[in-house]
Amino acid sequence: MLRFGHLAIVTASLLLPLAATAAAQDDAGVTQEQFFAELQVAIDDLRTSLLRPGGVVQGWDVGGADPGADVRALGTEDHYLLSRTPEDDSVTILTDRPIADFVPAGWQAVDSYGAHGDLSGDINVEFTPYSRRYVLAVRVVIRRERDADCSTNIAHAMLYEIPGAEPDPEDETIPILFRMLILALEDRTLCVRFDGDRVRGYRARSFLPDGTSLPELDRADELMTIVPAAPVDRLIAYRGRASENAPTL
């Protein structure tokens, strides 16, 4: 339960220059080499921003809750994990089945990374809306390290488009962001400690394996709960990023 989808919430300052460079390729004759150089800089900036280290927390991996074990006790076919923030709802399914088994009819694949394959360990499939139009789906292997969940790399990722969905301002950069996010996290091991229980829900804190906290990945307003299984498109929701939800004067 590493909530990979929520890592897509990044500052516009990282994305707008890249989008401008891409748009300028035809207008100003920007070469492919220049574009990919800009892309690498943007990926490095994204990695630095997402993985900005906080302090080292002693005992970070001792005493944490285990949402996965709670779901397995209730039945993984009948229960999913729902993560809610003011901006969106995402769903985590504990299953070794492929992503495609849970994709609603009509969704169109836009991009992909990796492929479905046999994996060992506890496997999660996560669906997170990037916008009203785009949904990220990832498949990851979770390792239980003491009392925390850890994962290295994304085994399989898909970007889906929902035909006819209302457009959002960020739609133009989302296909680029899809690749940037995967590359920014390549070969990084991330861990999550959960606190709470199946009645109150769970709140998460992110760490590197040495106990260094990762404050940029944490959301104080995010709550994960166990919910009855249902079609993915009935569970996920997109309400707009914080800037869109802010009151106007």
Q: Are 79 and 228 in contact (CB under 8 A)?
A: yes
CB 140 within 8 Å of CB 158? no
What is the reported pLDDT for 103?
A: 98
Q: Give the model confidence (pLDDT) of 188-197 as tens digits.
A: 999 999 999 9
pLDDT, position 232: 98
Q: Does residue 248 carry a pLDDT above 60?
A: no
115-128 exposure pattern, b = at least 16 Cβ within 10 A, e = fewer: ebeeeeebbbbbbb
The pTM assigned to this predicted structure is: 0.87
Residue 168, pLDDT score: 85
Cα separation, 205 vs 153, in Å, equals: 19
Alpha-carbon distance of 3 to 155, in angstroms, equals: 14
Question: What pLDDT is stored for residue 21 in this prediction?
Answer: 55
Domain ranges of the chain: 4-240
Provide the percentage of residues in the chain whose pLDDT is more than 70.
84
Mean per-residue pLDDT, 112-117: 88
Higher-scoring residue by pLDDT: 26, 219: 219
Contacts of 232 (CB under 8 A, 6+ apart): 91, 102, 103, 104, 127
**pLDDT tens-digit map of 70-107:** 999 999 999 999 999 998 999 999 999 999 999 999 99
Picking from 1-15, 77-91, 229-243, which range would have the lowest pLDDT averaged per residue? 1-15
> Comparing C-alpha atoms, which of 173, 219, 232 is closest to residue 6?
219
Band of residue 184 on the pLDDT scale cut at 50, 70, 90: confident
Higher pLDDT, 226 or 118: 226
More confident residue, 12 or 112: 112
pLDDT score for 3: 59
What does the CA dihedral 12, 56, 71, 188 come to, rounded to 10 degrees? 60
pLDDT for residue 11:
38
Residue 242 has pLDDT above 70, yes or no: no
> Which among 224, 180, 170 is positioned nearest to 202, based on CA atoms?
224
